[in-house]
Amino acid sequence: MGSRLPSTKMSSGWLMIKAATLSILVLLSLSSPFLGAMDIDLSKVWLFDSIEHKIFFELRLPRLMLSFFSGVILALSGWLFQTLFRNALMTPFTLGISGGAILGTGIAVVLGINSIVAGVALTGLFGFAGALFSVILLLWLSRYIVHRGSSSLLLLGIALSFFFSAALMVLFSLASAMQSHAILHYTMGSLSTMGYGESLSIAFLSLLLLAVLYIKRFELALLAINDDHARLKGVDTRRLTYTLLLVSSLAIGVLVSITGPIGFVGLIIPHMVRKLYPKANHQLIIPTALFGGLFLSACDTLSRLPQLQSDIPIGIVTAFIGGPFFIYLIIKGK
Amino acid sequence: MIVVEAVSCGYQRPVLHDISFSAEGDLCVLGVNGIGKSTLAKALCGLIPARGEILIDGKDLHSFSAGLRAKAITYIPPKLESFDGLITVHEFVLMGRYPYKDPFTAYSEKDEKLVTTLIEESTLEAGHRISELSSGQQQLLLIAQALSQQSDIIIFDEPTANLDPRHAKTFYDALNTLPETTQKIVITHDLNLARQLGFEILFLQEDAARHFKDPNIFFQADNLEKCYGVTFTINEDVIGVAYD
């Protein structure tokens, strides 16, 4: 039994990996506003009428905010879905929820709806509606599953994803050439933004999600054992699940309507944090949020490093960087 | 106090049909494999839907809120299945205090103290992670958590199945530390344990529950033979822990 006991002292090699990961992520994130099609010198940022000032405050800083808080939402939703359904492969993507949000946003584009009502972008509402629709569809369909294991739920989610992307293809053929182009560009995922409207709303939603998860951490700790266990200890699991799904669909729906799909963050960040911090699941909410934000903003920096005609879609970078690192963590094991 | 009136319950197909009984004192639930002892326990705690009427201390089971139900009745499964294996023993036992916790706050210092004492009595180590425990230790862990929950009715499902004689004694001692007012229900196949506990006996059959208020009547060889369909010899030469 001795060898199975948790080592109270982390091996120094592992500590090094942790420190290196964190400092690389922080460094890349912090340098994000200075790098890109035009590299910016810090000294010129403070000259009010310089082009650097304009680029820094109107393009780069909002973009850093958008990428950081998008990363927070993606990582936290991944963590939440894995906890709620007790399956390591659950994310808003594998369950078809962001597929629904993409379809909702696509519909808004085809209908030509891109106005802002009472400070809320209507495409965001369509994204939220799409996400919520797929959550409700998923829950409704799961009632008819005979073997209610979480793997059947995952299969349902994958089926829904395929259905939604097929519906998006139909939408393509209905749309005009310009709309098709807009949808195509949107489905590649992008963090480019202008001004603070989008980044502030994503920041607000990510903090809302973080606050709700943190307040509900005791209930989520019980749910992470199993559903019956949580109910035996007095958790109204159905109400809790519905509340959390509603809040996360709102965050994911609006996020996807702005950035398009950005895969992989929700899957790998919670696992990465579990490997780096071997603690009980409910104690990882804040590290997961932090790593998610840093990871996505670091990936965004990398996507703008090569001086190409256009930025590399962010989803490609997250997969390219995250994939090998994740495999390394799995093999290295802990 | 439990009153069960014409209850049928199960999963895809019903397991128990039209069961009725009422029990005020401690109870030992016996019955052949797969007859639905655990199913009955889950129905009593509201984990699975049931037709018929279940009254806990005179109140309909469905009228309880989730929190009040956890204070009224709980169930300890025979083994622990957890998605999160990195929870520590202390964190796990502390979760038994959830129904008493104020929303929006952490567990109180009083809760922490109670849990520390319970863990010491359970012979477990507070800092160990639950995935590192043996099946016997997991059973002790589940029992410690249920004791911290202090429900009025506690259902133990095969509580000693994985315990060595010394730890079976630990379980027995834990039972004795429970307040008189706690109604204890033990599901088991161990006839020696059932006899030593001395509780009333509920022998479960598919469409009836036979209630023996006097356990001595149940433990007569001819009655046991009627219940289980095999012949029994009863003698005093069995090896058993002195539970006194």
**Interface predicted TM-score of the whole assembly (ipTM), two decimals:** 0.92
With an 8 Å Cβ cutoff, are A222 and B91 in contact?
no
- Strands B59-60 and B73-76 come out as unpaired
Contact B26, B154 (CB under 8 A): no
Confidence of residue A144 (pLDDT cuts 50, 70, 90): confident
Length of chain A: 334
A235 and B47 within 8 Å at the Cβ level: the answer is no
User: Tokens 């639905």 sit at which residue?
Assistant: B36
Q: What share of chain B has pLDDT > 70, as a percent?
A: 98
**Amino acid found at A129:** A
The Cα-based distances of A85 to A76, A191, A247 in angstroms read 14, 29, 16
Nearest to A106 by CA among A163, A159, A158, A174: A174
Neighbours of B232 (CB within 10 A): 14
The residue ranking higher by pLDDT, A241 or A2, is A241
Paired tokens of B209:
């529950």
Angle at B113 between CA B112 and CA B114, to 5 degrees: 95
CA distance A67 to A109: 23
State mean pLDDT over A49-66. Answer: 87
Mean pLDDT rounded to a whole number for chain B = 91
Quick one: what percent of chain A has pLDDT higher than 70? 91
pLDDT digits (tens, 9 = 90+) for B153-199: 999 999 988 889 888 888 888 888 899 899 999 999 989 889 989 99
Distance CA A211, CA A203 (A): 12
Tokens linked to A126: 């369509």
Chain B contact set for A282 (CB, 8 A): 84
Return the top range by mean pLDDT from A330-334, B11-15, B159-163, B231-235: B159-163
Q: What is the pLDDT of residue A64?
A: 94
Task: Tell me what pLDDT residue A281 has.
Answer: 93
Query: In sequence order, what are the residues at sequence separation of 6 or more whose Cβ sits closer than 8 angstroms to the Cβ of residue B15?
Result: B9, B35, B36, B39, B206
pLDDT in tens, B38-84: 999 999 999 999 999 999 999 999 999 999 999 999 999 999 999 89
Does pLDDT of A314 surpass 90?
Answer: no
d(CA A79, CA A250): 16
* Residues belonging to chain B with any Cβ–Cβ distance to chain A shorter than 8 Å: 12, 42, 45-47, 65-71, 74-75, 77, 80-84, 86-88, 91-92, 95-96, 98-99, 101, 104, 106-107, 127-129, 132, 134, 149
Domains of chain A: 18-332 (1.10.3470.10)
For range A121-149, the mean pLDDT: 84
Name the nearest CA neighbour of A270 among A85, A99, A136. Answer: A85
Q: Which numeric CATH code is attached to B2-228?
A: 3.40.50.300
pLDDT for A116 equals 63
Question: Given this model, what pLDDT does residue A6 score?
Answer: 45
What residues of chain A have any CB closer than 8 angstroms to a CB in chain B?
A: 1, 4-6, 83, 86-87, 146, 215, 218-219, 221-222, 224-226, 228-229, 231-236, 274, 278-282
Residue A229, pLDDT above cutoff 60: yes
